[in-house]
Amino acid sequence: MKPVPDKASETVSKSDVPHLFSPEAKPFEAPPHRPREPNPVERRPMTEQSLTIHHVTPHFYPEVGGVEDSLRHFGAWLVQGGHRVIVHTSSLAASGETLAARGAIEGIEIQRYPPISNRGYFRTWFRPDLSGARLIHLHGYAVRTNDRVVRATSHVPIVFSLHHGVRMPHVGRRVRVLRKFYDRFVGVPTLRRVDRILVTSSGDVPWLTRRGIPDAKVRVVPSPLPDAAYVPGDASWGRDRVGGPFILYLGRLHEEKGVDDLLEAFSRLPPDARLVFAGPDGGRLSALRSRARDLGVASRVTFLGTVSEDEKRSLLASCVCLALPSLFEAQGLVAIESWAQGRPIVATRVGALAEMISHGETGLLVPYHDIHALADSLDRMWTHPEVGNEMGAKGKRVAESFRIGKIAPRLLQIYEDLAAH
């Protein structure tokens, strides 16, 4: 079944649009409130004004991550508003499992395609069927599929979300040379062809400006949180399960997330400290378990694996602080989730984290790969919980500006402006 086109015009106006810039200690048990699978959302009937938006992204539900979660939050909000959202994505899960060709989540339609090439996140390549599409939204810079879609599409408005950002550091001379080549001959030409470029923070804008991308084409639209993320978690539940206060890492267990540095830093904390890793294995779980044993802290480190949304909120609400020692974060949605639960953050001074977190006010910032500084900041949170509580309260006020109802209308306005021309 091919996508049903919406009512958008086949021509795209290049007129300007108003700017939107803005700022295994104990066994793991289920919380007393059983996690619920997402229910079908209530949606308004589609009308002549309703849009059909075709999204293209390397991975989507049931995969989890910043891009996947952001798209799901936006998509569910649009569906509730009477719009149709179709996500085109790869059928190959990170686990190697082949997912069904068709699916749905919260009213979002999912169409999955077998990858022609699967050599990592950015080099996942598949051929989405976009015939009949009148409005396309691509997700991820340096994603091969998106470059090909742009070159194969004409007379259709295209919105392009950078997500991971264009400032992501690259380790190794060969990678830097290849990225420079890609930017010049593929990536930037792709961006010049699209109609709107979305970034999650203003830090990406100068990079685009230096490469001749007009400001009129760029919009800052942060990733939002659904209202459910602000519902207070059970602050006592996590500590009861783990056996006391703990520092929390929430995300993929991947090298680029700084999980190895976190474990090393944790080993320097007082002997009563505890660390919880919650999230899917990104290739480092076995090594982390082994290293925890070598460091003599295995009895104080808990690996929970993937957790539900209810479990996530309860873990955040009950942690001493969230540790986010990443190599790079285009926004770091989990940081906002932590603030929404009133908890402070210890993070690396990279990407959007450096712009979003006020050092000493809503969290603590440390240089990337500085284990000594990371350990000192974690120790400060651990030994002075009153400091963390104050920072978390301030962060909670900041998190209010990221509610879906405040962010999503900006995206809808962009869609409507493009569809009207």
Q: In this structure, how many other beta carbons lie within 10 angstroms of the beta carbon of residue 22?
A: 13
CATH number at residue 376: 3.40.50.2000
In a domain, 157, yes or no: yes
- Asked whether residue 292 falls in the same domain as residue 370, the answer is yes
pLDDT, tens digit (0-9, with 9 covering 90-100), for 152-178: 999 999 999 998 767 777 567 888 888
User: pTM to 2 decimals?
Assistant: 0.84
- Asked whether residue 251 falls in the same domain as residue 380, the answer is yes
In terms of Cα–Cα distance, which of 154, 197, 159, 213 is closest to 11?
154
Amino acid at 300: R
pLDDT, tens digit (0-9, with 9 covering 90-100), for 172-187: 788 888 889 999 999 9
What are the C-alpha distances in Å from 266 to residues 269, 324, 384? 5, 13, 16
pLDDT at 107 over 50: yes
- Asked whether residue 374 falls in the same domain as residue 323, the answer is yes
pLDDT at 11 over 50: no
- Asked whether residue 145 falls in the same domain as residue 249, the answer is no
Contact 217, 188 (CB under 8 A): no
- Asked whether residue 173 falls in the same domain as residue 257, the answer is no
pLDDT at 20 over 90: no
* Number of domains forming the structure of the chain: 2
In a domain, 137, yes or no: yes
Query: Which structural domain range is residue 154 located in?
Result: 52-224+403-419
